[in-house]
Structure 1
Amino acid sequence: MHKKLMGVGLLAASTVFAFYPIERLDEVNQAKVGIQKDVDQNNGSLVGDESKLPIHRMPITLVETIDGDTIKAKVKGSIETIRYLLVDTPESKNPRMCVQPYAKEAFQRNYELVREGGLTLELEQGETRDSYGRLLAYVYVDGKSVQETLLTEGYARVAYIMNPPYKYLPQYTTDESLAKRRGVNIWSRTGFVTNWGFKGCVP
């Protein structure tokens, strides 16, 4: 009887494999791996691979978009004003300055970006606040850099390189150069972008 049951089991197994080719099994296994990667994914890096985990990146909750390069968010239970590290966008809310060209566009783009998904921030080693007490940080939406998007699309320039080296400065410089070559937004006006900021006011 035991041998008969074993024989039936082997027959059933062979029948399953007959209708479930090896190629299909490989696809299923690959799909399982893909699903597991999606489950384990953390801001674009796999939890199972510690060498790829983002360091010093923490979740934050958006409170308000202030301008093109600044937001207010809840960080570890406290409300913080977060100034995007290494970038600068035209001014629209500085009481000592006029509204500059592309300031409203930069604000609108930042407003859209930080609402597209989950927010995280990453701090640079060393000084983490500016003279106004704002938290200086790299900000990400679903693992994608907000700073890089603003630079690549021509809404920001690389600025405030106060205490190098910075880990992402080479990439940011590349992003800025790309936008400059394309002549988009702030780079479409000759002489508008200077080493000290932006020159000109909205009429």
Structure 2
Amino acid sequence: MSVVERLPRLEPGLTLRNVLLVVFYLWAILVLVGLLIYTLPFVVAVVLGLNVRGSADRLSAIPGISTDGGLSTAVVAGGYMLCLYGVILALAWATSAPAATQTTPPATTMPTASGSDATVAATTQTTPTTTTVASTVSTGSTTTTASSSISTQASTTDATATPTVATTAPPTTTTTATVARTTTAASTTGSERRTEWQVDVVRVVDGDTLEVAFPDGRVARVRLLGVDTPEVHTGTNPSEFEEIPESDAGRAWLRDWGHKASDFARTQLQSETVTIRTDSDADRRGAYGRLLVYVRHDGESFNEQLLAQGYARVYESSFSNREHYLALEATARSNDVGLWNYDPPTEITTTMTTTTSVATTGTGELVVVDVHADAAGNDHENENDEYTVFKNAGDRELSLAGWRVEDEADHVYYFPDITVAPGATVTLYTGSGTDSDTAVYWGSDAAIWNNGGDTIYVYDDSGNLEVEYTYGAQADQSPIPLVGLLLTVGVVLRRL
């Protein structure tokens, strides 16, 4: 029986038991709602701090929220919630404050004549005081009365003016109205959200993702709208690119073009000032909270350049330029431009070896001499303290142009055109920086190497496996502990 089924239920009729149950349930609901309200900031802080179901990833565009969660993210998230509560309380207080009112004194109505005649009566006091002058205009059944207070000192005068007497000056009817003013704040509607900015490109993450600095100094990550370049930080999926086979060769081809797209974006946009614009027909932000934008540089659409030059496909989503983008992709595919000019590589048979440092090529030997997988602090926020050191153990220079590094999660890095001297080392950092012959940078925005253990694979420019290096827990795997465990279990069973 479930908990709900165990709860007491109301019976037919109006009984004391039913009344008490209703009161109890209402009280319980109020208590639960109250607890939820007061604990919500702490719940949100824990959820984002632990990055539950990628919540921190999706909200990483908010300042202070890290893609990996952590204590700082939890504190910031809790602070945001408390600030939100403060705003709600301030609004509630402002709307409940009593409004200032202005009291209008009542009008004094003097005796008037009936009918359609206009009668004016004036009364003036002889002492300095406040005198009420009332004028009443009576026409038919409609009477208008107004009053005003003035301070005067004059002789007593009673004057009655009748419009039908020629020798009497015609009466002057003065109507002084007292108006009660009500001050109403002009209602203002929030201006529409901004849709276009001029920004500086701080960093090219990959072919379709940029980090930009807005005019207010805020730095945020934006995603190019309507285009998708092959992945370089995660595994590629050939099924997303028609005509590219779902094979190792197809994935390698797309990874290569993903790096080419990144290089093209860096060449065109790095440190440049560009115009970005959102599209009212598309989602304003993507799944990870990044602004979805068109990018224009030197008067040209960079999104369109990626499609026309074969660096990207059209992303499956709704946006106003979709038909034009599909036409650009179709033209690039029909002309075998860029990644669409797939050329299947020649089958190469390689011998897989499981060694910790490895293999000889025609010009030198590349070995792994150090792996620093556990960066100080949060690995995802200190990428350049995660690195791998390679050494040329041969006696001749070793060119790494076209060589690539992979891990077990299918992250891929391609070496630039560098040459390592005999006995020299080159360090591959996970983060970003300027490449040289002794230090190269993966350009990843998150950690690559697992702290608990991983395997480093290095392939030469022909696709031959040259290095397979296992470190950490995976390198310590041995059948001896398992055999010992089985023997122990066997001895215990025999004694039983």
Q: Deviations over 1:132-170 (max 9, x none)?
A: 111111111022100100100000000131xx3x22112
Judge conservation of contact 1:120–1:143 (CA < 8 Å) in 2: no
Judge conservation of contact 1:180–1:187 (CA < 8 Å) in 2: yes
* Structure 2 counterpart of 1:169, from 317, 322, 326: 322
Listed as ranges, the matches of 1:39-188 within 5 Å are: 56-77=195-216, 78-94=218-234, 100-115=255-270, 118-125=273-280, 127-161=283-317, 164=318, 166-188=319-341
Alpha-carbon deviation of 1:190?
Answer: 7.1
Counterpart amino acid of residue 302 in structure 2? V
TM-score by length of 1: 0.60
Judge conservation of contact 2:203–2:270 (CA < 8 Å) in 1: no
**Higher fraction of helix:** 1
TM-score by length of 2: 0.26
Judge conservation of contact 2:275–2:297 (CA < 8 Å) in 1: yes
1:51 corresponds to: none
Q: Deviations over 1:23-80 (max 9, x none)?
A: xxxxxxxxxxxxxxxxxxxxxxxxxxxxxxxx94320111100001111001242111
Q: Deviations over 1:98-138 (max 9, x none)?
A: 76231111101111121495300010115311121111111
Judge conservation of contact 1:59–1:119 (CA < 8 Å) in 2: yes
Counterpart amino acid of residue 227 in structure 2? V
C-alpha distance in 1 between matches for 2:215 and 2:284: 15
- SS of the residue corresponding to residue 61 of structure 1 reads strand
C-alpha distance in 1 between matches for 2:323 and 2:264: 23
- SS of the residue corresponding to residue 261 of structure 2 reads helix
C-alpha distance in 2 between matches for 1:134 and 1:160: 17
C-alpha distance in 2 between matches for 1:141 and 1:90: 22
C-alpha distance in 2 between matches for 1:171 and 1:75: 29
Counterpart amino acid of residue 144 in structure 1? E
- SS of the residue corresponding to residue 124 of structure 1 reads coil
- SS of the residue corresponding to residue 289 of structure 2 reads coil
C-alpha distance in 2 between matches for 1:114 and 1:174: 24
- SS of the residue corresponding to residue 80 of structure 1 reads strand
Counterpart amino acid of residue 89 in structure 1? T
- SS of the residue corresponding to residue 101 of structure 1 reads helix
C-alpha distance in 1 between matches for 2:264 and 2:290: 21
C-alpha distance in 1 between matches for 2:288 and 2:222: 11
Counterpart amino acid of residue 58 in structure 1? W
C-alpha distance in 2 between matches for 1:155 and 1:116: 21
C-alpha distance in 1 between matches for 2:315 and 2:204: 20
Counterpart amino acid of residue 260 in structure 2? E
C-alpha distance in 2 between matches for 1:175 and 1:117: 25
Judge conservation of contact 1:64–1:72 (CA < 8 Å) in 2: yes
Name structure 2 gaps, 5 residues minimum: 1-193, 237-250, 345-411, 415-462, 464-496
- SS of the residue corresponding to residue 154 of structure 1 reads coil
Taking only the aligned residue pairs, the percentage that are identical comes to 28
**Greater relative contact order (CA < 8 Å, ≥ 6 in sequence):** 1
Q: Tell me how many residue pairs correspond in the alignment.
A: 136
C-alpha distance in 1 between matches for 2:195 and 2:326: 22
Judge conservation of contact 2:203–2:271 (CA < 8 Å) in 1: no
Root-mean-square deviation (CA), in Å? 2.5
C-alpha distance in 2 between matches for 1:171 and 1:137: 16
| Structure 1 pair 116–63 and aligned structure 2 pair: CA distance change class (3 A) | closer
- SS of the residue corresponding to residue 112 of structure 1 reads helix
Name structure 1 gaps, 5 residues minimum: 1-54, 192-200
Flag the structure with larger Rg.
2
